Amino acid sequence: MKLARFSRIGFILAAAGSAVGLGNIWKFPYITGENGGGAFVFVYLITVLVIGFTLMIAEMLIGYLGRRDSVTNFEDLAPRDKHLWKYGGFIGLTGLIIMIFYSPVIGWTFHFVLVSLTSLPSSVAIAETNFTEFISIDLGSQVFYHTLVFLFVTTVVARGIKGGIEKLNFILMPILFITIAAMFFYASTLSGFTQAWDFMFAPDWSKLTSASLVTAVGHAFFTLSIGMATILTYSASLPKDSNLVRSSLIVIALDTGIALLAGLTLFTFLYEYGATPSAGPGLVFISLPTVFYEMGFLGNIFGFIFFVALASAGLTSAVSLVEPIIQYLVDRFSFSRLKASMASGLFFYLFGMIAILSISKEYGHYFTIGSMNFFDWADFVTASVMLPLGGLIMAIFVGHVMEKERVAAQLKTQLGAVYPLWYFSIRYIVPIALVVVMLNLVGIIEL
Three-state secondary-structure class, residue 177? helix
Mean predicted lDDT score pLDDT of the chain: 88
Q: Higher-confidence residue: 3 or 171? A: 171
Q: What is the pLDDT of residues 15-50, one digit of tens each?
A: 777 777 777 776 787 777 777 778 888 888 888 888
pLDDT (0 to 100) of residue 179: 87
Q: What is the pLDDT of residues 277-304, one digit of tens each?
A: 555 566 788 888 988 998 888 889 989 9
Burial call 117-127: b when 16+ CB within 10 Å, e when fewer: eeebbeebebb
Report the pLDDT averaged over residues 1-20. Answer: 72
pLDDT (0 to 100) of residue 441: 67
Start-to-end Cα distance in the chain:
47
User: Does the model's pTM come out above 0.75?
Assistant: yes
Q: Tell me how crowded residue 299 is: count the other CB atoms within 10 A of its CB.
A: 21
Helix ranges (H only) for 334-429 are 337-358, 374-381, 387-396, 404-415, 419-424
Q: Give the lowest-confidence range in 20-24, 155-159, 336-340.
A: 20-24
Q: Higher-confidence residue: 50 or 102? A: 102
pLDDT (0 to 100) of residue 51: 86
How many degrees, rounded to 5, is the angle at CA 60 between CA 58 and CA 63? 115
Fold of the domain spanning 8-441: Hydantoin permease (1.10.4160)
pLDDT (0 to 100) of residue 1: 47
Q: How far is CA 174 from the centre of its chain?
A: 18
Candidates 220, 236, 258; CA nearest to 60 is 236
Three-state secondary-structure class, residue 433? helix
The Cα 127–Cα 124 span in angstroms is 5
pLDDT (0 to 100) of residue 446: 61
Residue 49 amino acid letter: L
Candidates 42, 45, 91, 19; CA nearest to 248 is 19
3-state helix, strand, coil in the chain (%, to 5): 80, 0, 15
* Alpha-carbon dihedral angle through residues 304, 138, 313, 22, given to the nearest 10 degrees: 110
The Cα 233–Cα 286 span in angstroms is 36
pLDDT (0 to 100) of residue 120: 93
